[in-house]
Chains A and B, each alone.
Chain A
Amino acid sequence: MSSIAPPFALMAELTHRCPLQCPYCSNPLEMLKANKERDTAFWRGVISEAASMGVLQIHFSGGEPSLRSDLAALIAHATDCGMYANLITSAVLLNRDKLSAYAQAGLGHVQVSLQGAEAANADRIGNYKGAHEKKLEVAKLVTQIGMSLTINAVVHRQNLEELPAIIDLALALDADRLEIAHVQYHGWALENRAALIPTRAQFEAADALVARKREEIGARMVIDYVVPDYYADLPKTCMGGWGQKMLNIAPDGRVLPCHAAETIPGLTFPRADDLPLREIWEGSDAFNKFRGTGWMQEPCSSCALKEIDWGGCRCQAMAITGDAAATDPVCSRSPRHAAMNAMAAAEAQQEPGDFKWRRVS
């Protein structure tokens, strides 16, 4: 009997292709082209295996997952296997027919991203003219068809002033949930950090606003809030703990503990068709490397919170300290914490330069 509990969720990154070019995209800098993508049979097999392991939720993601013509078929297969299907989308390529087909296939929930509350700024950030209007149209269709709607708004220095309007817009769209996520500095976001990082004053205003709005709105629309790491004092429980709740499959079929895990040198990621998925989850080096608490160094290994946050984010420790096993510098007990705060404050005062757009090079 294995002591490693099965994952609850599978992040299926069907493609890295996307019509938008958001400068904070969590995809890796070296994105995979269409010819590296896996076929329908591969994904069907992965979904069946994941379901039999105990995965209950699947997140169809990317890139833009609706670029795959087999998305409805994959949703239907996941639903047949007893999974709850979530779609994470930029929405600009969707329409009533596609959404109806996904709903028919069993899709329960659609998460539509917004880049802001005003078309001009939002379209600039995604570098796609007309995106914002299209997103609003699609968001309305989601609830008309009877699916649950989440609005996802990634916020940063260049759109935080619009946060009150973003909240009002999500309410007007009848969203069940609003996810307000400060940028997480991995992938493209790390490249664009100096143009995105908020000032401490902006962050404090956002915090206070979210607290007030949660109280005011209550259960009508749940607000999930991802704090900006660089101004936090305790690390987030990244991925619910490495190798504990979720697995991520990249467009080329590699199985990763999180979407940014490739930034950690020395890890190798098996493809889902190289080995049974359960063996990868339970036995692969990549999943065991930071699972549990055995890998921790001081001050983490004697910390009372070590089984609360499971050490925070390994990719962040890597990005800031150069050591993936170091204390997450978000934590006030990290020797690098003060330097990270100072860096954030200094970058936030700079005149933002041009974005480095998310593009396949």
Chain B
Amino acid sequence: MRVTGETVPRLRRGVRRQFDKARDTAVLMAPERVVVLDEIADAIVTACDGQRNIADIVALLAARYQAPVEEIDGDVREFLEGLAESALVTL
């Protein structure tokens, strides 16, 4: 899997993000699985709209959190690669 700034991450078939009111947290719902998302994880997942590529997502979050692009870039890639390995996103 070669991930570049051009790569467009997508939630995999059957995977949805939603808000869990009972536990007051965002979650990723997948077949027979629930993954609890913290604030940053949720921001990344929400940015994966099937249109934005990784560079767009990094720029969006760097602006929102006023953080250096290089730092956000590493975090976003690491997180999305983890989700890809867990079969929750495709890269």
CB atoms of B31 and A56 under 8 A apart:
no
CB atoms of A176 and B22 under 8 A apart:
no
Binds B, one of A140-148, A205-213, A250-258, A317-325: A140-148
Whether, in the assembled complex, A186 has its beta carbon less than 8 Å from a beta carbon of chain B, the answer is no
Interface string of B1-31 (1 = CB under 8 A from A): 0000000000011111010111100010111
Q: Which residues of the partner chain B approach A219 to less than 8 Å between Cβ atoms?
A: 84-87
Identify the closest chain A residue to B27 (Cβ): A56
- A-B contacts, CB under 8 A, total: 63
Q: Which residues of the partner chain B approach A147 to less than 8 Å between Cβ atoms?
A: 13-14
Q: Which of B21, B30, B84, B85 has the most CB of A within 10 A?
A: B30
CB atoms of B20 and A176 under 8 A apart:
no
Q: Which parts of B21-70 form the interface with A (CB within 8 Å)? A: 21-23, 27, 29-32, 34
Residue in contact with A8 in the complex, picked from B14, B30, B34, CB distance below 8 Å:
B34
Residue in contact with A86 in the complex, picked from B16, B21, B32, B87, CB distance below 8 Å:
B32
CB-CB under 8 A for A57 and B29, given A176-B87, A219-B84, A219-B85? yes
* A–B complex contacts, Cβ < 8 Å, 5 sampled: A84-B34, A108-B16, A111-B32, A176-B14, A218-B85
* Distance of A8 Cα from B30 Cα, bound (Å): 13
CB atoms of B22 and A143 under 8 A apart:
no
* Distance of A332 Cα from B66 Cα, bound (Å): 54
CB atoms of B32 and A222 under 8 A apart:
no
CB atoms of A57 and B13 under 8 A apart:
no
